[in-house]
Each structure stands twice: as structure tokens, then as C-alpha cells.
Structure 1
Amino acid sequence: MRVSRSPLGFTLVELLVVIAIIGVLVGLLLPAVQAAREAARRMSCSNNLKQLGLAIHNYHSAYKQLPKHMGGTTANPSGGAVLRNPGHNRLELSALVGLTPFFEQQALWEQISNPLRNEGETVSFSPMGPNPRMTLNDHNTGALGPYGPWLTNIPTLRCPSDPGAGLPSQGRTNYVVCLGDSSHRSAVGGTSDNGSRTSTGAQETRASQRGVFVPRQRTKFRGILDGLSNTICMGEICTDLGDQDKRTHASYNAILTAITARSQLCEDGNTDPERPQFLSKRLVGGAEAKRGYLWAYGRIFFSGMNTIQPPNSAVCMNRASPLGNSVHFDGICPPSSRHQGGCHVLMADGAVKFITDSIEAGNRRSAQVAVIGTRTDVLAAGSESPFGLWGALGTRASKEVIDQEF
């Protein structure tokens, strides 16, 4: 008597059906997995900003003021190239440098604040190190050799969603301080690199630099009259990937004689019509002159932002000189991010908010608030921000009521 047995394993048709089902499931689940990963990265980014907010409050508690943006030493250089001189940083340090011991970077702060002698060298770096504007060539060919702190990538200053890494950057940062809603005097404020001030510079800075941080000037929480919860303290930026992204490359406009009255010209005629997120021409600066490439350097292009154009708009600098030093001067520098639809900002009270690209931003072609001699193509000092809710969030004492959700 013969006993029939069922065949072992799958038939070819059954195997193909199983593979097809698995493929469909993977196709359905993969976007969800990627979305979950991005949500985790976004939360990690938010936590980094919260840690920086806590560091700022602890700093203020310790020193009764906010860390100075564009601070440091003013000693005259004693021979050798100015940028590589060991004892002179020309008031070029970002506020992030002073914050390092308050966000678990005490070891790095010790290197910065104490004299450092490279092995085999007879000259020591003085406290606060050399000028952070040094290029990689300055680091590599200088008599003192590379200065480690300025070349350090600090994990707390990096957003997990930003893939930027490696040369030609030095130490990258995705977090920068907010300087208000006007570009005039946003590079150096009213103080020169030797510490001297003029009445004209002080007046112009007081009129236009209306953010929580003011270049080369001390600020305190008590000066934020609009309320800590209504005022942006820091923001997020992308770091450059070498792809001509308008958020990380600086552009300029050849007729841009007064950036204070021509904000929208940053994007007019400079973007690629087929790829509006990228520039088509008029790039400014060399390979190392890109957004987020120098965490310790205090100029606005590298470690600052303002609330003139909405998040993820183009960066534009106020010098009509391609491949020149434009990135070291005033400019319109919006925040940006690799997150979808907006970016994080840190409010002065320590809260972190996600601001969408579509936030109400007033008249993008408006003049800015500034005092520049006898010029009349700017808004008078003390005016409300022309950039709507977005501009109002960037000012510390403009008596603007925030009555909208953001």
C-alpha cells in the first residue's frame, strides 16, 4: 500500500508570492522607518539647543551677563602675521567660545584659556588663543603649528540631521546666536578690533543691532524688555556640503549699495531657475568661507543669524566683490536646517521652538531699521520691525506684542 506525501518546501509560484509580499511590506515600512529616524534626529537637535540654553542661563548666573559675541583679547600683535600671532584674536571670538565650560567642554576651555605650547616650539599661545579667522593654510604653515581648539568639532554644536563633515571646514557648528532684525553693523558692532569706540559707531549699533546679542558689546537678560519667552536667542543653520546651496554659500548683488533697503535682492537673479534652492552665479568667498565652518569665529556669516528673511532663505552679504572678503562683513543671514519645513530656534527663556519657513515675515522687500549718516532709505531708529512676527521675535526691546502662535 502506497502512502501519498505532500511535497516538501515551497513551489516556485509560492516563493515568488512570498517575495512579492515581503517587498510590498518593506516598501510600506521603509518611509515610516526613515521618518522615525529623522524624528529622533530632530529631537536630538532640539536637545542640543536646550543644552546651549541651559549653558547661557548658567553663564548669566555666574557672570551677571550673557557671553560676549565678538569678544576676546585686544592686545596689539608683537611681530609675525596678525592672524597667526599667538596673543591676539582681535575681538573675533564667537559667544560659543565663552560657553564651552558650561556645556561639558571644560577640557577644551582649559586649552583655550591657558597658555599652550606645541611640542618642539619655544613660543606659547597666550590665553584665548590666536585669531579664529585663520585659514587651514595658516594653521598648517604657521610657526606655531595647528591650533587644536579652533579645529575641534564639538558634538553638542552639531545637528544629527546635518551630514556635513571633513575638509575644507575647520570646526563646524549648526547653532548660532541671534543679532536681531537689521544687517547694519552686524559684523563688528561699534567697536574696532583694538577695543576703541566712536560715537558714530555706537549710535549706529544701538539703532540697528536689536537682538539678544550685540557684536563686541555686553548684554544682559534685564535688557530683553519684550520678554524672554518672546525673543529668539539662538538659531540653527546648515553647514555647507559643497553644492552651492543658497543657505550656506554667500551671494551678493552688483547693485547692492545698501543691503538695508534691498533685502529681497539677495535672491533676485542669483538662484538657479531649475533648482531654486541653489545659486547659479556670484558666489562669494573661497572654499573655506562657507556657513558653519568656523565655530569660534564671531562674524555673522559663520556664527550668527538675523530675523530679516524667513528660515531657509538665501544668505547675502553686503560687499560687491566676488571671491573677496565679503563673508567677513554685514549681511542677511537667516537660520536654516536639514529638517523638513523649517528650523529650530532657542528662545531667551530656554525654550526650543520649531519655526516653519512660512512664518509671517512682513514685507520682504522693506528697508531695515538703521541709522546711516543722513540717509533716508532706511527706517528710523526705534521703529517696529518691518518683517512681521518673524522680525519681532528677533528684537529684544522694540515693544512689540507677540499675539500669534509660532
Structure 2
Amino acid sequence: MQRQVHAGRNAFTLIELLVVISIIGLLMSLLLPAIQRAREAANRMRCSSNLAQIALAFHNFHNDNNYFPTAGAYLGSGTATQSWTVVANSPPYYYTPSVKNGQILPGRNQRLGWAFQILPYIELGTTYNNWPISPSSATLGLLATPVPLYYCPSRRQPELYGGMAQTDYAGNGGVVVDPSTGTPPTPDESQMSGLLKPSGFRPINMMSDVPDGLSNTLLAAEKQVDRKNMESNAIWDQGYWPGYNHSTIRWSAGTPIQVPAHDTLAGGSANSAMTAFGSSHFGSINAVMGDHSVRRIRFSADAPTFANLCNRRDGQVINWVNLE
């Protein structure tokens, strides 16, 4: 009697294949949010590290000069005080440093901003020392050299935007004069309540000029940026070197504003894009205090308390429950 031998199956049926695909799809849908959260957590940590290194550079600058870096810009040609709008937008003051006898002047008399002044303290002393003191092709080359430390990885890569290297961090200029319009303080000592003053004014000594305490005063934080206009060279994104410009200084224009990583301006007036702090992180911004501590300020923070945080001398006790 002859036995019949049946060959075994060596392939999936269509139904089995569809089941496998659906299971893989389900697993991916479950894993993807976790992967995204892990990536954002890593980006937030890198952003916090950036701010911590910036604060350390401020303190090392202070150790050498006995004052914090300045906001820059008001000192136009090195001899006369000018409106920041004139200096910030008028070459060569916009991108060439204040010099005397061929030497770059220190922060007290430097029209370029804090992010330029601390270059020697973030291992970019060569960039600082080789910065051309007059407009040239070399200047343009430096303007087009990104500093990775100045970029928040949740917002954008350290690339050129509008043909220039940018920064996602801004120093604390204090409390805005008119919150409804976002008007920054005028060049008046009485209105300069932040940790960064314009050049030409007596700079901040952290031992004698911060009565509220360094741990209760904002030094720098992420800034509000309109992501859909990052190539426009708008006044709030004109590079990392300008002084007392919305690119490098912000004020307490209400509370920080959330800007989705790939979206446009989220809420606020047109002025808020220029004056406010903000970020692309979920729920809060990263901010570093004068004592070098990095904290999170939520987007729903109490506006008056945030204004107190931006004021180094208002005598108010910071209730962190209202901010974090």
C-alpha cells in the first residue's frame, strides 16, 4: 500500500499576515509616544545643561571682571549713548565689537552682547580674539558659525537661520515698562531691574547689586521665537552677538509662552514674540537663576510672581509653587 506524503506549509496565509501586521502596528503605536517622550526628556536635559554652562561662564566672567557680562549695545561708537534700535540694526555697530587701541573692550564698554562677551569662557576664546574689529568677509564668516551651546535641541538644530548663527537663550533684562505693549525699559538706571544692564551703565556685581538674592533672580532662559519666520532676520532673531536687542535680551512680558516645536507663534500679541521668554518644551521653559541653579517655569505660572523673579531688587519673596 502506497503512503501519501503531504508537503508542510512554508508560508503565511493572507489572514495570518494581516494579523501580524496589525500587531506590529499596535506595538508601534504604543512605543512611539514613549520614544518621543524619551527623546524630549533627553533634549530638555541638554537644554538645561546649555543654560548651566552659560551661567557658569557668567560666574567665571564675574571672577575675572568683578561684574556680570552686560547686555551691550547702548554704547554705540564707544563715545556716545544711542538708542538700542539704532545700534542693533545699523552696521557696523550691529556686528563689530567696541574697541580701543585695537583691543576689544570688556563688557562694561562693549556694544556687543553677553553671548559674545562670554565666548572665552565657553572654550571659544579663539573666536572672540579673532573677531574682526571692522566689517569684512571674515566678520561674515564668524556670523555664519553656529555655537551649539546656544541652541535648544527641542526647537532647532545648530544651523544657520537667515544666513546667521542664532541663539535660543536670552538674558534677563528685568520688568517691562508696559506689559500691554511689551515696551522694554528705557536707558534709565531706575528701570533696569534685571541681571543684565546695557553697556555704559554700571554693571551688576553679584555681591552688592542683587538684594533679592541670586537664587531668587532670573539670569537667563529660553526665549520666545516664531518658528515659521526664523529665516526672516526679524529683530527677535538677529544672531547671538547683538547687544540689548530682542535677540539676546528678554523681559517679563507676562508669563512664558509655549511655542510648539514645528508651529507658529502660540498666543500673545505681536510684541510678545520680541519681549517674552518661551520654549518648545512641553509644559514649561528651562531657566537658570543667578546662583547657577536651573529650574523649570511652567507656562501657566503666576505672572506677578514671574515678574518678581525678573526683578533683582523688589524685595519680594519668591513662592516657587506659583512658578514650577
Q: Normalised by the size of structure 1, how large is the TM-score?
A: 0.63
Partner amino acid for 1:162?
R
Deviations 1:303-351 (A, max 9, x none): 1111131101636559xxxxxxxxxxxx971111111222111100101
Q: List alignment gaps of at least 5 residues for structure 2.
A: 81-89, 100-108, 258-266
Question: 1: distance between equivalents of 2:193 and 2:34?
Answer: 42
| Contact 1:344/1:354 (8 A) holds in 2 | yes
1:4: how far off? 3.9
SS in structure 1 opposite 2:219? strand
1:166 equivalent to 2:108? Answer no
SS in structure 1 opposite 2:227? coil
| Contact 2:235/2:274 (8 A) holds in 1 | no
Question: 2: distance between equivalents of 1:107 and 1:240?
Answer: 32
What's 1:34 paired with? 36
State the identity as a percent.
Answer: 27
What's 2:68 paired with? 66
Two-structure CA RMSD over aligned residues (Å)? 3.0
What's 1:300 paired with? 245
1:179 equivalent to 2:173? Answer yes
| Contact 2:224/2:274 (8 A) holds in 1 | no
1:314 equivalent to 2:268? Answer yes
Deviations 1:82-140 (A, max 9, x none): 7238775895311111101111212211212xxxxxxxxxxxx43xx55xxxxxxxxxx
What's 1:153 paired with? 146
Deviations 1:3-25 (A, max 9, x none): 44431222221111111111111
Distance 1:167 1:399, change over 3 A: closer
Q: 1:84 aligns with which of 89, 92, 96?
A: 92
Question: 1: distance between equivalents of 2:305 and 2:292?
Answer: 19
SS in structure 1 opposite 2:286? strand
| Contact 2:98/2:111 (8 A) holds in 1 | no
After superposition, where does 1:229-244 map in structure 2 within 5 Å? 229-243=215-229
Q: 2:113 aligns with which of 94, 108, 115?
A: 94
| Contact 1:341/1:357 (8 A) holds in 2 | yes
Distance 1:305 1:209, change over 3 A: same
What's 2:20 paired with? 18
Q: List alignment gaps of at least 5 residues for structure 1.
A: 113-124, 131-143, 191-204, 249-285, 319-330, 362-387
Q: 1:349 aligns with which of 254, 275, 291?
A: 291
What's 2:210 paired with? 224
| Contact 2:71/2:249 (8 A) holds in 1 | no
Question: 2: distance between equivalents of 1:210 and 1:170?
Answer: 30
What's 1:57 paired with? 59
After superposition, where does 1:262-273 map in structure 2 within 5 Å? none
Q: Normalised by the size of structure 2, how large is the TM-score?
A: 0.77
Question: 2: distance between equivalents of 1:303 and 1:207?
Answer: 21
- The alignment of Structure 1 onto Structure 2 pairs a total of residues equal to 282
Question: 2: distance between equivalents of 1:231 and 1:16?
Answer: 59
Question: 2: distance between equivalents of 1:66 and 1:306?
Answer: 18
| Contact 1:240/1:290 (8 A) holds in 2 | no
1:288 equivalent to 2:291? Answer no
Question: 2: distance between equivalents of 1:226 and 1:336?
Answer: 24
Deviations 1:21-41 (A, max 9, x none): 111111111111111111111
1:2: how far off? 2.7
Question: 1: distance between equivalents of 2:72 and 2:290?
Answer: 19
What's 1:399 paired with? 315
